[in-house]
Chains A and B, each alone.
Chain A
C-alpha cells in the first residue's frame, strides 16, 4: 500500500514562563492510503498537539512530518482537520457554510461549487442548503461540517476528538454516519481520541501513547472477522472486549 503520511521522530517541548515542558518524545509512525488510524492516550498527554503538528499548525521542536513525501510546513491544503465542535457559522446558510473552506482557500470555482453541491445531495443536505445551522439537528450539523472539509478534497482527514461535544447517544449515531461517509469517499483518516471504545470501533490500527512526556507505548492492528462491520456492530463483537482490555492495560490508568 502507498504510504501517505510519515511522522518522523517528532519531539515537542513547550517554553513557559515557569519552565520547560516536554509534551512529545520521539514519535514516529506512518499512515497508508485508505487506512483509519487512531491515537489514544491519557488526557493531557499531548495527543492534540501531535495532531496540530501533523496539520502544520504547530512547528515541532524536533522531527518532521512528510505528506506524500513532501515535508509539511505551514497549514497544508491536502489536510482536512475536524475539531471537537462542528463550528458552523450561524449567520451562514448550510450551503454557505459548506463552501467556507473553499472560500478561505480561494478555491471557490464553478467546479468546486458543483462538487460541494453533489456532496450535499449525496448526504441528504441538499434540501436544507438554504437553512441555517440552528434549524438543523446535531447529526445534520456534523454532516454539514464534514462536507465543508470534504469539499476541499483533502488527502487525509485529521479528527481531533471530533464529536466529543455531542451527547453519548447522538455521538454513537454520528460516528456511524461519519464513518460510513468517509469510507464511501475512500479517505485516509488519523483520529485522536481519549475514548478507547471509539478508537477500536472505527480504526484499522490504534496507536497508544504513554503519559507525558508521551512516546508510543504500543501499536495495535485491529482485525475483526467480518471486515465490513459498522462501528456500532463492532462494539458487539467478542474481539472488541479483548482489544479494549489490552489497550486499557497499556494505558495504565490511575485515579
Chain B
C-alpha cells in the first residue's frame, strides 16, 4: 500500500527515443530561425543603407553603430552605461525591499489593508511619470530624482502583487500552523513567505524592467549622465548613431538584468526544493 513513488529506471523505448529526437530537433530549428532573423535584419539594414534606400543619417546603420561602440573612450558610453545600471539596481532593490515590506504590513493588518485599498488603486493607475517634475522639486535635480522615479514606478506594483500572493496562501495550511499555536509572525515566516517565493521572483522579474523604465524616463527629464541622457542628447544633436547604439545597449542590459533574476530564482528554488 505505502509505496515510495520512484520513477522506475526503464530502458528508453524506440518510440520514446524518436519522440525525444523530434523535440530536440524542434528546439534547434526554433533557435536557428531566431538567429537568422537577427542576422538577416542587420544585413538588410546595412545593405539598404549602403545602396541609399535608407538614409543612414536619420536611421544610422550597423557598421556606424559598431564604430560608435569602438569609440568608447571618446563618447564615454561605458560611464553612461554604468550610471544607468547603478540607478536601475538601486531603484530595483529599494522597490523590491520596500514593496515586500509594505505588503507584509498590509497582510498583517486587515484593517490597514482595507484603509489603504482605494489609495493603492489610484496610485497604481496614476502614470507615475507625471510626478517627475514633482520629484525633481522635492529631492533635487539629479540622481536622487531618477532613483525616486524608478522606485515610484515599481513600488506599487510590487506591493499589490506581493499582497495578493500573501492573501492567497492556502488557508488550511495556515490553519494547520494555528493548530500548533502559531502566532502571526510564525504564520508569516513558516508558511506565508516560503509559499510565496514564486510570487517574489515573479514580482522581481516585473520590477527589474519597470525600474529600467523609471530610470530612463528620469534620465530623459533630468540628468547629465546615463543611457537615457545619451539618447536625448543624441536626438537633439542629430547623432543618430549614438541614439541607436544606446538603444541596442539598453536592450541588452534589460535582457541581462532579467536573466540574472531568472538565474537567481533557479538557484534559490533548487536550493529549497525536491532534488536531494
Contact = CB atoms under 8 A, between A and B. Distances in A.
A124 interface: yes
A140 B3 CA distance: 8
B196 to A, nearest CB: 11
A105 B181 contact: yes
A137 interface: yes
B172 A84 contact: yes
A75 B3 contact: no
Nearest to B187: A104
A137 B4 CA distance: 6
Contact of B181 (A104, A124, A130): A104
Interface stretch (A85-93, A200-208, A215-223): A85-93
Give the one of A80, A137, A173 with max B CB within 10 A: A137
B109 interface: no
A74 B179 CA distance: 10
Contacts of A90: 273-274
B194 A81 contact: no
A85 B4 contact: no
A250 B179 CA distance: 32
Contacts of B272: 91
B49 interface: no
B7 to A, nearest CB: 10
Given A85-B172, A105-B181, A124 B2 contact: yes
Contacts of B194: 89, 91
A136 B180 contact: no
Contacts of A131: 4, 276
Interface in A123-146: 124, 128, 130-132, 134-137, 139-140, 143
B2 A132 contact: no
A143 B4 CA distance: 13
A185 interface: no
Interface residues of A, number: 36
A135 B4 CA distance: 7
A93 to B, nearest CB: 8
A89 B173 contact: yes
A71 to B, nearest CB: 17
Contact of B2 (A83, A101, A137): A137
A107 B217 CA distance: 53
Given A83-B176, A91-B272, A91-B273, A128 B4 contact: yes
A85 B173 CA distance: 9
Given A91-B272, A100-B190, A130-B276, A135 B179 contact: no
A65 interface: no
B58 to A, nearest CB: 55
B172 A75 contact: no
A139 B2 contact: yes
Contact of A100 (B180, B274, B276): B180
A90 B272 CA distance: 9
Contacts of A55: 179
A192 interface: no
Interface in A151-187: 152, 173, 177
B114 to A, nearest CB: 15
A83 B172 contact: yes
A57 interface: yes
A103 interface: yes
Interface string A65-84: 00000000011010011111
Give the one of A87, A103, A132, A136 with max B CB within 10 A: A87
Contacts of B178: 57, 75
Nearest to B174: A87
Nearest to A86: B176
A87 B176 contact: yes
B24 to A, nearest CB: 27
Contacts of B1: 137, 139, 173, 177
A143 B182 CA distance: 22
Interface string B189-218: 011001101000000000000000000000
Given A83-B172, A177-B2, 17 more contacts: A57-B178, A74-B181, A75-B180, A90-B274, A91-B197, A100-B180, A104-B177, A104-B182, A132-B273, A135-B4, A137-B1, A137-B2, A137-B4, A137-B5, A139-B2, A140-B4, A177-B1
Interface of A: 55, 57, 74-75, 77, 80-85, 87, 89-91, 93, 100-101, 103-105, 124, 128, 130-132, 134-137, 139-140, 143, 152, 173, 177
**Among all A-B residue pairs, the 6 with the closest Cβ atoms:** A81-B179, A87-B176, A132-B274, A101-B180, A104-B180, A75-B181
Interface of B: 1-6, 170, 172-173, 175-182, 186, 190-191, 194-195, 197, 272-274, 276
